[in-house]
Structure 1
């Protein structure tokens, strides 16, 4: 069994408000979930509108 964990710190230069950040992050998270079979969530930097911290985890039974 393989377990993978990834933490990503992303700078969002095009966002000018928290509303812009939410729109971009929501789109990014849904695209990653649709393309890959992973769990993903925003895990930090909630109030900073030009940064986000994402946590990604996956599990595989292939050995």
Structure 2
């Protein structure tokens, strides 16, 4: 789960130079460059939290 969280964080960062073509961000056009995709960022945060919970639960079980 930790590896998935790391990959999601890298993926979210990789959206910064992209121009949105769908959704609300598409209205910004070139102004969206430099901002992370909110869906990618929130997915990365969720995975990071899930990985932390799994790590804490694993430590408590020992």
Fold similarity call, TM over 0.5: no
TM-score range, shorter chain: 0.3 to 0.5
Q: With a CA cutoff of 8 Å and minimum separation of 6, indicate the structure with the bigger relative contact order.
A: 1
Q: Which has the higher strand share?
A: 1
Q: Normalising by structure 2, report the TM-score.
A: 0.35
Give the number of the structure whose alpha-carbon radius of gyration is greater: 2
Would you tell me which structure has more helix in proportion to its own residues?
Answer: 2
